[in-house]
Structures are given as C-alpha cells and as structure tokens.
Amino acid sequence: MFLEKSNKYHKRNGWVEVICGSMFSGKTEELIRRLNRAKIAKLKVEIFKPAIDNRYDEENVVSHDDNSIHSTPVETASNILFYSKDFEVVGIDEAQFFDDELPAVCNKLADAGKRVIVAGLDMDFSGKPFGSIPSLMATAEYVTKVHAICMKCGNLAQYSHRTIKNDKLVVLGEKDSYEPLCRNCFNEARKKL
C-alpha cells in the first residue's frame, strides 16, 4: 500500500547532460557509450541527429572510431519533441547544427522526466561559441568537456582548426578539412590566415 502511494506521487526526475569539445575529441564516442549503458539498464533510448549531417551515414550516428548507433535524422529541434514521446533517454548528436530552439526542447524533455544527453562542438572553426551549445551548457545539470590531442605539439586540444579556405560557418568535413589544436597552436595558425 505504501509503495503504491509513493509511486503514485513520485515523478521521475529528468536532466540534461552536455558532452562538448573540439572535433576528434570523442564526443560522439562518449554519447554512444552512455546510450548503450542506458540500453543495458533496459531503458527506452532514442538518438537524434540533424538531417544535414550525412558525412558517414544517412541514419546512423557514427563516431570517428567507426562505432555506430541507429538514429532518427530530423530537420529541426522541435521535431525531437514529436519523436521522443515514448522514450526515457534521448540522445542528440552534432547539436551545434540544430536551430536556437534546442535548449528549450532539451529543457521540456527534462521537465517531462527524460534524461537528455547532448553532444556537440562548443566552438566554431574561429574559436567562437557555436550555436546553442553555450546556452545548453549553462542550463544542463552535467557538463563534460572532452579534449583531442593537438596535431602540432601533442598537448590537449580544444580548438577545431579549419585547414581549408572557407569562411562559411558550417562546412561539413573530416580530417581533410579540420585538425584539433591547442590554444597556442590555434592562435599561431589563425595568424597565418
């Protein structure tokens, strides 16, 4: 009887986790790891990615280490609300490519009792805060910043340096277009542009 009453009035707590860092730092790898652990716990899990990100696969989220997990590509952040009703854990990859509604969507999901795990670049190619990731970091319960290794000196890298000439904010690319750099090497590389 007591359990019935307490469960009746107990609302499951939701929260937001952000995994951020530069390219090649293991953000997607960490996202996949957390989602797989939730699946082991028999939770209902779904992952979303922006439809524009088809670098490795049209539907799967794929890490640089070739680990993958099936996902639902969506055009806008608000689509995530529509498709995530039946899930307890919601993963979002490449969050920097979503529109400015993403923080509100993540908070609505968390308010509804869902665990929301978001992965994305915290800075763009010029070292400026990227998309809605800074807002998400401010409102998230948990923030994990991961680092790559600087391709010039071997220190920890937190910048995604674009190695091709292109001033557009969004340029989908891989090792042919970007390299992770530490602060000093990034500043030196930016001087040469």
Does this model's pTM top 0.75? My answer is yes
Going residue by residue through the chain (193 aa), what tens digit of pLDDT does each one get?
444 444 555 567 999 999 999 999 999 999 999 999 999 999 999 999 998 765 555 555 555 555 667 789 999 999 999 999 999 999 999 999 999 999 999 999 999 999 999 999 999 999 999 999 999 999 999 999 999 999 999 999 999 999 888 888 776 666 778 999 999 999 999 998 7
* Distance, C-alpha 166 to centroid of its chain: 24
Q: What does DSSP say about strands 89-92 and 115-121: parallel, antiparallel, or unpaired? A: parallel
Residue of 59, 94, 141, 179 marked catalytic: 94
Could you list the residue range(s) of the whole structural domain that residue 93 is in?
A: 12-146
Q: For residue 12, what is the DSSP state?
A: P
Q: Please report the pLDDT score of residue 3 as a whole number.
A: 46
Residue at 5 is within a domain? no
For residue 21, being part of any structural domain is answered with: yes
Q: How far apart, in whole angstroms, are the C-alpha atoms of residue 46 and residue 115? A: 11
User: For the chain, what is the radius of gyration of the CA atoms?
Assistant: 18
The sign of the torsion formed by the CA atoms of 35, 36, 40, 43 equals: positive
Quick check: is 59 catalytic?
A: no
Are 88 and 77 in contact, with CB atoms under 8 Å apart? Answer: no
What are the counts of helices (DSSP H) followed by strands (DSSP E) for the chain? 6, 12
Kindly report the CA angle at 142 between 137 and 144, in degrees rounded to 5? 75
Query: How many angstroms separate the CA atoms of 71 and 49, rounded?
Result: 7
> Given this model, what pLDDT does residue 119 score?
97
- What CATH number has the domain bearing residue 127? 3.40.50.300
User: 59: how many CB neighbours lie within 10 A of its CB?
Assistant: 13
164 part of a folded domain = no
pLDDT for the residue 53:
67
Identify whether 191 is part of a domain: no
Give the separation between CA 20 and CA 27, rounded to whole angstroms: 6
| Number of structural domains in the chain | 1
The pLDDT of residue 68: 63
**Does some domain include residue 28?**
yes
Cα end-to-end span (Å), the chain: 70
Write down the residue that tokens 């730092």 correspond to: 25
Is 126 a member of any domain?
A: yes
Look at residue 175 in the predicted model and tell me its pLDDT.
72
